[in-house]
Homo-oligomer: A and B are copies of this chain.
Amino acid sequence: MKTEKISELTTNRLSVYLRCLNELEAAGVETISSQALAEQFNLNSAQIRKDLAYFGEFGVRGVGYYVADLRQHLTKILGLTEKRRVAIVGMGNLGLALANYNGFSAHCFEIAALFDDDPGKIGTRLQSGLEIQSTQSLREVIQRENVEIVIIAVPASAAERVLEMVTAAGVRAILNFAPVHLHAKPGVKVKTVDLTISLESLSYFLANPSEDAVSVDSREFLRPEAGANGAAG
């Protein structure tokens, strides 16, 4: 394994590959080439080879990748071999939606605690059986429940304060949905989900409708000389 830092975009792609491999395994596929993987899931085969080569030699010449093997490797690289316990702070509409989102548990994330500081919400029990607890007990509950990841779903004005409480409780991984840039201490990772970025890529598509007509791979095949037209430095 190389020692340089890999980017979040790379780990996001590994997550996508893992989903594809899950589908392939469920469909009984045992081996697949990077080319076939790219075609079936609308990915870029050169990027797949580059991303995977980063972590070692997974491909076998003339065979491609062994689906079960590669799936197991990616699961391990992404740290998904153990259950990760997650807490949500902020039980407004978004927090409730996340608490009831059934995509998490299917991917080894377990919602272990819910917090709000509204006395009208504290004590309410959700469908999952979890009870909303007071933010005042955050530190104690997070440590008792071995929470590793906290999702911040409070208004922007309260997010920085919640981040401080959560890191003071020892949590090092935070997913922030508040539309505000948060300042993390060294050793703590804060990932802010910006919902408008997804809308902007749709806006790009609407402004450039022809962009989607040709896939990267077919164009590369048709125009092998394209690299020569690359932008000058």
What 0/1 readout, one digit per residue, does chain A (183-209) give for beta carbons within 8 Å of chain B? 000010101011111111111111111
Determine the residue in chain B with the shortest Cβ distance to A148.
B206
How many Å lie between the Cα of A33 and that of B64 in the bound state? Answer: 42
The CA-CA distance from A196 to B57 in the complex, in Å, is: 27
Residues of B within 8 A of A167 (CB): none
Contacts of A174 in B (CB 8 A): 202
Give the oligomeric copy count. Answer: 2
Query: A104 touching B15 by the CB < 8 A rule?
Result: no
> What is the CA–CA distance of A108 and B102 in the complex, to the nearest angstrom?
31
**Chain B residues, Cβ within 8 Å of A97:** 92-94, 97
Contact across chains for B175 and A7 when beta carbons are under 8 A apart: no
7 contacts between A and B (CB under 8 A): A11-B200, A54-B231, A78-B207, A86-B199, A93-B93, A109-B196, A189-B205
